[in-house]
Amino acid sequence: MEISELGEFGLIERLAKDIKTKNESTIKGIGDDCAILAPTEGMRTVVTTDLLMEGVHFDLTYVPLRHLGYKAVMVNLSDIFAMNARPKQLTVSLAISSKFKVEDIEEIYAGMRLACEKWGVDIVGGDTTASLTGLAISITAIGEARSEDLVLRSGAKPTDLICVSGNLGAAYMGLQLLEREKVIYNDQVEQARKSGSKEQMELLREAQPDFSGREYILERQLKPEARGDIIEALQKAGIHPTSMMDISDGLSSELMHICKQSQTGCRIYEERLPLDYQTAAMAEELNMNVSTCALNGGEDYELVFTVPLAMNDAVSALEDIRVIGYITEPEKGQALISRDGGEHELKAQGWNPLKS
Amino acid sequence: MEISELGEFGLIERLAKDIKTKNESTIKGIGDDCAILAPTEGMRTVVTTDLLMEGVHFDLTYVPLRHLGYKAVMVNLSDIFAMNARPKQLTVSLAISSKFKVEDIEEIYAGMRLACEKWGVDIVGGDTTASLTGLAISITAIGEARSEDLVLRSGAKPTDLICVSGNLGAAYMGLQLLEREKVIYNDQVEQARKSGSKEQMELLREAQPDFSGREYILERQLKPEARGDIIEALQKAGIHPTSMMDISDGLSSELMHICKQSQTGCRIYEERLPLDYQTAAMAEELNMNVSTCALNGGEDYELVFTVPLAMNDAVSALEDIRVIGYITEPEKGQALISRDGGEHELKAQGWNPLKS
């Protein structure tokens, strides 16, 4: 169905009918000039926002719309968890070009609802409008935490242990794989077009690249999970991080933020970087250094955090968390100790679309 | 200066240095995964968001960047005031194409800061990223109100008076004027190009259209003001509206929202529509019906609200507010009474970029 058949209000009505709010703190969702929230007494509110642009943050030639919606939400929830807070509400703005049908927008929303349901988050408002060019998605997420539970980037102290959840570099390897297959496919189409072979064109239209054995890195790229489970595990274990961030631009970049804002240095060990087998295999195949991918790949949406040295046993006992180094005095700088024992300055080559 | 010289973090640092937070409820602004707010105890939080796209919502050939920033903020504050709440914080996301320089972004921010300062609002976070095509601006505004002070769209009752602030149609007339001058200018450039006259091209480059006597309608289009002053005046006079909206898509469209959500009808009088002299003169010149412009023009950012009939004297005593009609039983429909006494069904032809 064409969006113009419904218009803005018709489209919003159609999308809103599947959206039910569940949080006690959500007094009124979609349908007025503003959403109305009742913050829990004595709690702090945390707010984060992200703007995703077609062609910069996602490529619709290989990203399914439902996954895109899911990821757009998870990326924001990840920022809420990184404060050691719990997400409660979010607003969604979409700018859509004329190539989109009503069903496309419903797919995006289906993915968003799925991500929201996973963490009990209410969609409480937004804006739906036209775009002359690509798709734009803007999400603002709102969460809550007790003041004393909040974890900033600035609380790391020398001797604190540096921990990361999950493994790193997988989403980046997934992206490399998708980009490679896109180039191959486009080349094949171009050749078929030149040769004028209708049969070949037909075959290509049906073709699906073989991604078997690569499912994990693809899923990490296309359908990342915000690590609310880690936040819950830390709370259960009584571990309060001294600093924390989510890893969106790459571990190196995030560690440099923590060190800068905590006025410390850091020392991490290459051999401690957590890697999945598929990440390593893909890096090998693409002739890339897997440690570089883990340090700078970005879009991991894992958590990097620091805990006091005394917490070593407690944090090491937790599943899916690894100690990769420790915080130092600022004059020691930010160092990576390579497998051969060499010391290298950590550099943030993280994803930075505004840097040439 | 090229944005690529600074990169994302450098640009954010540069923009953030001029941003000081002032509200007690702002605990931490820009610089972590989330902003941290301390909601005032016992107050409700209200949230609204808007996504503005180049070529759809604004045309950079005649909108100065500083005005654009100012307007982008005011549009959101207008939604907060329309709940009878006070704005406190906002987040700003920008997606910028390579044609923009650092100074351009600073201009947008200067306009945003100006609008924020006017109403004591803190910029507490955001996202700055690249766009392959045009500029995108996404703002989320957060405000506060006591639960009993909030005004929804759904509270209008039959016999309630319908009031509007300021005057209507001026911003739309300003837009028509700017669009007309753009067409004239482009035609002149085209002619000069065809004739090959360098002299004429030079003259055109320096040319400024004569807007004297049109300043008011231009200002209403380029630099609208959210009507927080009306909210303050109503509070001072002890008038609590039964329903309220801001007029962004046109009075007709907003009245239909109020009637739908309040399950009422309405009756408004053409002769009561508040018009500025410049609006009427411009409509005359363009051979447009000025009432249609006032009803459907949009971007007025005035307030439309309803008050109990008993408030007639109190509301009529206020400056810059006019009673234009009253709320009826739903079966009476939504009617406009024209100057000749004829009754017409109100239709929302408001600004709707998704409707063909």
pLDDT per position as a tens digit, B50-90: 999 999 999 999 999 999 999 999 999 999 999 999 999 99
- Give contacts of B26 with chain A, Cβ < 8 Å: none
**A86-96 vs B334-337, strand pairing mode:** unpaired
pLDDT at position A200 = 82
Position A1 pLDDT exceeds 90: no
CA dihedral B97, B103, B108, B114 (to 10 degrees): 170
User: Quick one: closest CA in B to A79, which residue?
Assistant: B33
pLDDT at position B9 = 80
pLDDT one-digit tens code per residue, A143-158: 999 999 999 999 999 9
Q: Which residues of A88-98 are buried (b: 16+ CB within 10 A; e: fewer)?
A: bbbbbbbbbbe
Strand partners, B179: none
The answer to whether B300 and B217 have CB atoms below 8 angstroms apart is no
ipTM of the complex as predicted: 0.92
- State the best of A3, A138, A152, A304 to mutate against chain B, taking most chain B CBs within 10 Å: A138
- Using CB atoms within 10 Å of the CB of residue A153, give its burial: 0 to 12 exposed, 13 to 18 middle, 19+ buried: buried
Band (B349; pLDDT cuts 50, 70, 90): low
Stretch (H or E) spanning A88:
strand A86-96
- Give contacts of A80 with chain B, Cβ < 8 Å: 33-34
| Whole-angstrom distance, CA of residue A166 vs CA of residue A321 | 6
Mean pLDDT of chain B: 93
Q: Which residues of A237-256 are buried (b: 16+ CB within 10 A; e: fewer)?
A: eebbbbbbbbbbbbbbbbbb
User: Quick one: closest CA in B to A243, which residue?
Assistant: B32
| Whole-angstrom distance, CA of residue A32 vs CA of residue B8 | 35
Q: How far is A299 from chain B (nearest CA, A)?
A: 15
Indicate the SS3 state at residue B17: coil
By Cβ distance, the residue of B36, B46, B352 closest to A150 is B36
Closest CA to A224 of A21, A40, A71, A33: A71
Structure tokens at A173: 């390897």
| Whole-angstrom distance, CA of residue B218 vs CA of residue B224 | 9
By Cβ distance, the residue of A4, A38, A45 closest to B356 is A4
Q: How far is B174 from chain A (nearest CA, A)?
A: 22
By Cβ distance, the residue of B44, B93, B154 closest to A38 is B44
A85 to B34: CB separation less than 8 angstroms, yes or no = yes
Position B355 pLDDT exceeds 80: no
| Whole-angstrom distance, CA of residue B254 vs CA of residue B252 | 6
Q: How far is A128 from chain B (nearest CA, A)?
A: 8
DSSP-derived secondary structure for A16-29: HTT-----TTEEE-
Sheet holding A26-28, edge to edge: A26-28, A35-37, B43-53, B136-146, B86-96, B122-130
Indicate the SS3 state at residue B36: strand
Helix (H), strand (E), coil (C) string for chain A: CEHHHHHHHHHHHHHHCCCCCCCCCEEECCCCCCEEECCCCCEEEEEEEEEEEECCCECCCCCCHHHHHHHHHHHHHHHHHCCCCEEEEEEEEEEECCCCEHHHHHHHHHHHHHHHHHCCCEEEEEEEEECCCCCEEEEEEEEEEEHHHCCCCCCCCCCCEEEEECCCCHHHHHHHHHHHHHHHHHHHHHHHHHHCCHHHHHHHHHCCCCCCCCHHHHHHHHCCCCCHHHHHHHHHCCCCCCEEEECCCCHHHHHHHHHHHHCCEEEEEHHHCCCCHHHHHHHHHCCCCHHHHHHHCCCCCCEEEEECHHHHHHHHCCCCEEEEEEEECHHHCEEEECCCCCEEECCCCCCCCCCC
Give me the count of residues in chain A.
Answer: 356
- Give contacts of B85 with chain A, Cβ < 8 Å: 34
Closest CA to A75 of A112, A26, A120: A112
Q: What angle do CA A119, A125, A126 make, to 5 degrees?
A: 110
Q: Which residues of B145-172 are buried (b: 16+ CB within 10 A; e: fewer)?
A: beeebbbbbbbbebebbbbbbbbbbbbb
A91 to B128: CB separation less than 8 angstroms, yes or no = no
pLDDT one-digit tens code per residue, B124-148: 998 899 998 899 999 999 999 999 9
Strand partners, B246: B303
Q: Which DSSP symbol is given to B272? A: G
| Domains parsed from chain A with CATH numbers | 3-146 (3.30.1330.10), 161-174+219-345 (3.90.650.10)
pLDDT one-digit tens code per residue, A159-203: 999 999 999 999 999 999 999 999 988 898 888 888 888 888 888
User: What interhelical angle do A198-206 and A170-195 show, nearest 10?
Assistant: 160
pLDDT one-digit tens code per residue, B203-257: 887 777 888 899 999 999 999 999 999 999 999 999 999 999 999 999 999 999 9
pLDDT at position A356 = 43
How many residue pairs bridge chain A and chain B with CB atoms within 8 Å of each other? 233
pLDDT one-digit tens code per residue, A70-110: 999 999 999 999 999 999 999 999 999 988 999 999 999 99
How far is CA A217 from each of CA A79, A224, A322, B237, rounded to the nearest angstrom?
22, 10, 20, 63
| Whole-angstrom distance, CA of residue A253 vs CA of residue A304 | 11
Closest CA to B294 of B330, B326, B254: B254
Indicate the SS3 state at residue B5: helix
A28 to B152: CB separation less than 8 angstroms, yes or no = yes
Strand partners, B323: B163
Band (A126; pLDDT cuts 50, 70, 90): confident
User: Quick one: closest CA in A to B53, which residue?
Assistant: A131
| Whole-angstrom distance, CA of residue A206 vs CA of residue A139 | 35
Closest CA to B4 of B100, B70, B77: B100
pLDDT one-digit tens code per residue, B8-58: 788 888 888 888 999 999 999 999 999 999 999 999 999 999 999 999 999
Strand partners, B205: none
Position B167 pLDDT exceeds 80: yes
CB atoms near residue A314 (< 10 Å): 14
Half-sphere exposure of A179 (CA within 13 A, CB side): 11
**pLDDT-above-90 percentage for chain A:** 81
Strand partners, A227: none
pLDDT one-digit tens code per residue, A277-331: 999 999 999 999 999 999 999 999 999 999 999 999 999 999 999 999 999 999 9
Question: Cβ contacts of residue B35 below 8 Å, gap of 6+?
Answer: A46, A47, A48, B26, B28, B29, B89, B91, B124, B125
The answer to whether B38 and B189 have CB atoms below 8 angstroms apart is no
A38 to B45: CB separation less than 8 angstroms, yes or no = yes
